[in-house]
């Protein structure tokens, strides 16, 4: 398509999404749940079709020599298809956030003022290889009463189209407009540029992917973006920590999974307990093949550590590599996190009440934890039911974003003819 | 100052604000309230000084031939100075939003997950002539634990500096950093361009002023903006309205004050009651000097009306001018509001339960009302204590923005050594 064609195509997608958004905003809970169940049914029934479409994407990906990790993310299996369908049923089981009224109180003037939760309108989702995002994002957006415009990676186009057909069948079965979920048909990059600047038709953009993708979108966008940048997560072991808990948490936060955004990248240890903790803990890390990079004090205790460079403290490794620094107390730990962290998830291990309270108040991250692993920062673990991403922004949504993050609140005012003086 | 000097100056203001924001974020409630009381005291004590500084601004304004309405907004009086001080004491009396914990529930894994309300960081406020915004905005930002950078209009620079001196005295008395509230010293427009793009130092911009100012700032900004665009507010009188209530509400919503954003600009009347309501109601409007612009059906009932043009339905008059349209029912009323409204404030007058419920759910405006006047859309009337503006955005804050809109929420997780499976 030419640039002009892409512009026209995207404008028409946007217009249809805006129209559909008004219908799904007032759709009742039963219709939305019926659509979700029908989508799940279609996905299960069409397993063979989805696997065939996915095989086509995989052939192209291998021919283009894509990385193994990319191919992994792109691959659908019977199991991942079942999980996708199950996810839609789980979303159907969540309470409908739309129309929820809170804080409806009488004011001295006699009017009653409260808030009603409402859909945002049209959500644009831009993602990379994972085809399951097509179903997850469509389900979450619909349940929150929004229309969705989905732009998946070009490498997953056949898989995404096949999943979108199931999603649209679900909408049709429930009498909802099929245009409530649209998959961008062109793989041209210019379509993204158009999507993130159509202020009249798109209310918010949720990019899911690497930091590069998200930074590029944020810099181009004229529509608000819910960003998920990097996760440089810390665990601070205080000198009043329970040593056994501390070792288990520090082990888990790094080694449970290496490639996730809530994995610890830097361990901070109070100087008074460093020599008690580090020898045992580092043995565990070495046994699991984790490369350690420490400051001078840490390397005095465990000599096999590499020296950490200034740049290392800012790194999101997403790999079996860990920084270790010895600090002289809570203040230095908080200062380190403030300077080098990414405001994603940080934890303290301590039995000291006042320090736990200070850490919770003063560390300015989307999740702040006491005596547990950073790996818990997750929509399912937090009870949101599902998440569309994790926000490292401060405005609107922070941390795991579920149905609530895909809605807004308006004021409602009930009167009996009251007038303002 | 040269462009380079302005850039350096603004960067240094930003850096100081960021540093100060960390200190006010952890300041305790007593210190913030002490600062607010000391600011109020200084403002009252320095009344004569403030009036002298204001006189200087007024001399320049008159010499430059500024409009009367602008001069009105610029003028300080003994009464407005007392109101400013009183406003700061009212903010001190509000509950501290910072650190408020909500929804702290145990999860199946054993961790306890909740949310803690936290400051946004650094707020940039850009405003036009009103010097009282300097005190109001400083007080609200401080109470919410934020640092503020204030950029008032050049015509109010002497008044703003004098008020800022009182504000900074208050901060000093309470042992808080004076740089928690900074007034931009240069009146150069380039300073605004710098302020709205300093992503490292500014977390959100709140512009207060006309639509032109806000649109210009929103288009330049790389920092999120809480926008207040126009208020094209509607009242819809249903055929099941109480006629007496309807006339009083429609009168009040237009004539209580003409120049406010929550004033009704278009009245929609159900065709079945139009001939019963309009003759009496229009007599009231004509007696008060309101110009009426109607559609054909309305002009058949009240012949003295002008004909409304298509463009008129989009107008925010802020003046004694009102559009009147006859509609055939609730659907057409909602469609009109969706097409021509600005999603600010809209009201229905009806005794019908189902129509009231539908109007509340389906009208997508920041305030939606039943049987009362649009003029109630206001932070004080809603019980927010004070407002920094009214947001016509959907993300983050919608409607009147008080202390809560100047904060965010982070997740907190309390554990006892739990690990994720």
Cα–Cα distance for residue pair A371/A380, rounded to 1 Å: 19
B25 — contact with chain A (CB < 8 Å)?
yes
Angle B212-B217-B222 (CA atoms, 0-180°, nearest 5)?
Answer: 160
Chain A segment 166-225 residues within 8 A of B by beta carbon are 203-204, 224
B361 to A116: CB separation less than 8 angstroms, yes or no: yes
A259 — contact with chain B (CB < 8 Å)?
no
Q: Which residues of chain A make contact with B413, given a CB cutoff of 8 A?
A: 347, 367-370, 372, 376-377
Q: β-strand B204-208 against B291-294: which pairing, if any?
A: unpaired
Selecting from A113, A382, A394 the residue whose C-beta is nearest the C-beta of B411 gives A382
B260 — contact with chain A (CB < 8 Å)?
no
* CA distances to A117, A217, B230, B232, B356 from B345, in Å: 16, 33, 10, 8, 15
Exposed/middle/buried for residue A421 (C-beta within 10 Å: 0-12, 13-18, 19+) = exposed
| A350's tokens | 């301590």
pLDDT tens track for B74-96: 999 999 999 999 999 999 999 99
What sign for the dihedral angle of Cα B167, B169, B170, B176? positive
Cα–Cα distance for residue pair A332/A374, rounded to 1 Å: 20
Question: b/e per residue, A349-376, with b = 16+ CB within 10 A?
Answer: bbeeeebbebbbbbbbbbbbbbbbbbbb
Q: Which residues of chain B make contact with A124, given a CB cutoff of 8 A?
A: none
pLDDT tens track for B373-404: 999 999 989 988 778 888 988 899 999 999 99
A364 to B118: CB separation less than 8 angstroms, yes or no: yes
3-class secondary structure, A308: coil
For helices B78-93 and B29-45, angle between their N-to-C axes, nearest 10 degrees:
170
- Across the A:B interface, residue pairs with CB atoms under 8 Å apart total 203
Q: What is the pLDDT of residue A227?
A: 87
- DSSP for B222-268 reads SS-B-------EEEEE-TTS-HHHHHHHHHHHHHS-SSSTTSEEEEE
Cα–Cα distance for residue pair A366/A394, rounded to 1 Å: 8
Cα–Cα distance for residue pair B385/B90, rounded to 1 Å: 7
| A276's tokens | 């008690």
Cα–Cα distance for residue pair A121/A123, rounded to 1 Å: 7
Cβ contact B223:B204 at 8 Å: yes
Q: What is the pLDDT of residue A234?
A: 98
Count CA atoms closer than 13 A to B210's CA, side-chain side. 12
Q: What is the pLDDT of residue B310?
A: 98
Q: What is the pLDDT of residue A278?
A: 98
B410 to A398: CB separation less than 8 angstroms, yes or no: yes
**Cα A85 vs. chain centroid, distance in angstroms?**
20
Cα–Cα distance for residue pair A160/A158, rounded to 1 Å: 5
What sign for the dihedral angle of Cα B367, B409, B217, B1? positive
Cβ contact B303:B312 at 8 Å: no
* CA distances to A324, B200, B218 from A222, in Å: 40, 19, 9
B64 — contact with chain A (CB < 8 Å)?
no
The end-to-end CA distance of chain A, in Å, is 60
Count CA atoms closer than 13 A to B55's CA, side-chain side. 7
Selecting from B107, B252, B400 the residue whose C-beta is nearest the C-beta of A383 gives B107
A409 to B398: CB separation less than 8 angstroms, yes or no: yes
A105 to B383: CB separation less than 8 angstroms, yes or no: yes
What sign for the dihedral angle of Cα B152, B153, B159, B162? positive
3-class secondary structure, A278: helix
Which letter does DSSP use for residue A314 in this model?
G
Q: For tokens 């403002």, what's the residue?
A: B43
Backbone angles phi, psi at B159, to 5 degrees: -60, -45
A414 to B369: CB separation less than 8 angstroms, yes or no: yes
* CA distances to A164, A326, B18 from B201, in Å: 42, 29, 6
Cβ contact A410:B366 at 8 Å: yes
Count CA atoms closer than 13 A to B342's CA, side-chain side. 24
B305 — contact with chain A (CB < 8 Å)?
no
User: Which of A399, A381, A367, A388 lies closest to A144 in space, CA to CA?
Assistant: A388
| B281's tokens | 């109601």
Interface test with B, best of A223, A350, A385, A394 (most B CBs within 10 A): A394
Cα–Cα distance for residue pair A270/A254, rounded to 1 Å: 18
User: Which of A239, A200, A236, A205 lies closest to A221 in space, CA to CA?
Assistant: A205
State the complex-level ipTM.
0.92
Q: β-strand A122-127 against A181-183: which pairing, if any?
A: unpaired
Q: Taking CA atoms, what residue in B is nearest to A421?
A: B256
Cβ contact A322:A285 at 8 Å: yes
Q: Taking CA atoms, what residue in B is nearest to A413?
A: B369
Cα–Cα distance for residue pair A408/B9, rounded to 1 Å: 37
Interface test with B, best of A411, A412, A418, A421 (most B CBs within 10 A): A411
Cβ contact B213:B207 at 8 Å: yes
User: Which of B151, B127, B131 lies closest to B210 in space, CA to CA?
Assistant: B127
Query: Which secondary structure element, helix H or strand E, spans residue A284, and what is its range?
Result: helix A271-287
Least Cα separation, residue A225 to chain B (angstroms): 10
Q: What is the pLDDT of residue A326?
A: 98
Q: β-strand A389-391 against A399-401: which pairing, if any?
A: antiparallel
How many other CB atoms are found less than 10 A from the CB of residue B290? 18
| B320's tokens | 């004694």
B23 — contact with chain A (CB < 8 Å)?
no
Chain B segment 337-356 residues within 8 A of A by beta carbon are 338, 347
Q: Taking CA atoms, what residue in B is nearest to A28?
A: B361
Count CA atoms closer than 13 A to B39's CA, side-chain side. 37
Q: Which residues of chain B make contact with A419, given a CB cutoff of 8 A?
A: 248-249, 252, 256, 372-373, 375
A25 — contact with chain B (CB < 8 Å)?
yes
B364 — contact with chain A (CB < 8 Å)?
yes
Q: What is the pLDDT of residue A402?
A: 92
Cα–Cα distance for residue pair A41/A88, rounded to 1 Å: 10
Q: What is the pLDDT along chain B (421 residues), one digit of tens a residue?
A: 788 899 999 999 999 999 999 999 999 999 999 999 999 999 999 999 999 999 999 999 999 998 888 898 899 999 999 999 999 999 999 999 999 999 999 999 999 999 999 999 999 999 987 899 999 999 999 999 999 999 999 999 999 999 999 999 999 999 999 999 999 988 888 999 999 999 999 999 999 888 888 889 988 998 999 988 789 999 999 999 999 999 999 999 999 999 889 999 999 999 999 999 999 999 999 999 999 999 999 999 999 999 999 999 999 999 999 999 999 999 999 999 999 999 999 999 999 999 999 999 999 999 999 999 999 999 989 988 778 888 988 899 999 999 999 999 999 999 999 999 9
Q: For tokens 């520090």, what's the residue?
A: A250
Give the E-state strand segments of B249-320 in sequence order: 264-270, 291-294, 306-307
Assign 3-class secondary structure to A166-183.
HHHHHHHHCCCCHHHEEE
Cα–Cα distance for residue pair B370/B364, rounded to 1 Å: 14
Cβ contact A169:A191 at 8 Å: no
Q: Taking CA atoms, what residue in A is nearest to B416?
A: A371
Q: What is the pLDDT along chain A (421 residues), one digit of tens a residue?
A: 788 899 999 999 999 999 999 999 999 999 999 999 999 999 999 999 999 999 999 999 999 998 888 898 899 999 999 999 999 999 999 999 999 999 999 999 999 999 999 999 999 999 987 899 999 999 999 999 999 999 999 999 999 999 999 999 999 999 999 999 999 988 888 999 999 999 999 999 999 888 888 889 988 998 999 988 789 999 999 999 999 999 999 999 999 999 889 999 999 999 999 999 999 999 999 999 999 999 999 999 999 999 999 999 999 999 999 999 999 999 999 999 999 999 999 999 999 999 999 999 999 999 999 999 999 999 989 988 778 888 988 899 999 999 999 999 999 999 999 999 9
Cα–Cα distance for residue pair A73/A259, rounded to 1 Å: 12
Least Cα separation, residue B104 to chain A (angstroms): 10
Q: Which residues of chain A make contact with B398, given a CB cutoff of 8 A?
A: 408-411
SS3 content of chain B, % helix, strand, coil (to 5): 50, 20, 30
pLDDT tens track for B16-75: 999 999 999 999 999 999 999 999 999 999 999 999 999 999 999 999 998 888 898 899
Q: Which residues contact B89 (CB under 8 A, 6 or more apart)?
A: B36, B37, B40
Least Cα separation, residue A371 to chain B (angstroms): 5
Q: Which residues pair with A127 in a beta bridge?
A: A208
Q: Which residues pair with A347 in a beta bridge?
A: A235, A369
Chain B segment 89-118 residues within 8 A of A by beta carbon are 99, 105, 107, 109, 111, 113, 116, 118
Least Cα separation, residue A285 to chain B (angstroms): 17
Cβ contact B217:B192 at 8 Å: yes
A396 to B395: CB separation less than 8 angstroms, yes or no: yes
């Amino acid at each position: 398509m030419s640039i002009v064609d892409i512009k026209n195509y995207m404008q028409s997608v946007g217009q249809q999404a805006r129209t559909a958004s008004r219908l799904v905003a007032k759709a009742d809970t039963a219709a939305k749940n019926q659509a979700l169940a029908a989508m799940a049914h279609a996905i299960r029934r069409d397993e063979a079709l989805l696997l065939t479409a996915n095989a086509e994407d995989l052939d192209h990906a291998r021919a283009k020599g894509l990385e193994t990790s990319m191919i992994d993310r792109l691959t659908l299996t019977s199991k991942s298809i079942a999980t996708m369908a199950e996810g839609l049923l789980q979303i159907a089981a969540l309470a409908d956030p739309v129309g929820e009224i809170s804080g409806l109180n009488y004011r001295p003037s006699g009017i009653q003022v409260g808030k009603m939760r409402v859909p945002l309108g049209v959500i644009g989702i831009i993602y990379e290889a994972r085809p399951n995002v097509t179903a997850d994002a469509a389900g979450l957006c619909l349940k929150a009463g929004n229309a969705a415009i989905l732009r998946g990676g070009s490498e997953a186009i056949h898989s995404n189209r096949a999943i979108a057909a199931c999603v649209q069948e679900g909408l049709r079965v429930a009498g909802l407009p099929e245009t409530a979920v649209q998959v961008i048909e062109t793989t041209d990059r210019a379509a993204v540029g158009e999507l993130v600047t159509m202020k009249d038709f798109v209310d918010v953009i949720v990019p899911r992917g690497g930091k590069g993708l998200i930074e590029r979108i944020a810099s181009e966008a004229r529509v608000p973006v819910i960003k998920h940048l990097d996760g440089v997560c810390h665990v601070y072991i205080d000198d009043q920590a329970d040593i056994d808990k501390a070792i288990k948490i520090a082990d888990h936060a790094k080694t449970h999974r290496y490639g996730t955004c809530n994995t610890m990248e830097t361990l901070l240890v109070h100087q008074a307990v460093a020599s008690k903790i580090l020898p045992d803990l580092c043995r565990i890390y070495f046994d699991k093949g984790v490369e350690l990079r420490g400051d001078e004090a840490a390397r005095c205790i465990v000599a096999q550590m590499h020296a950490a460079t200034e740049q290392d403290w800012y790194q999101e490794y997403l790999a079996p590599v860990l920084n270790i620094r010895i600090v002289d107390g809570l203040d230095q730990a908080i200062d380190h996190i403030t300077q080098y962290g990414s405001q994603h998830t940080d934890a303290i291990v301590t039995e000291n009440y006042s320090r736990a309270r200070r850490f919770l108040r003063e560390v300015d991250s989307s999740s702040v934890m006491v005596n547990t692993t950073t790996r818990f920062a997750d929509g399912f673990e937090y009870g949101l039911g599902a998440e569309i991403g994790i926000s490292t922004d401060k405005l609107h949504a922070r941390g795991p974003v579920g149905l609530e993050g895909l809605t807004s609140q308006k004021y409602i005012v009930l009167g009996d003819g009251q007038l303002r003086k």
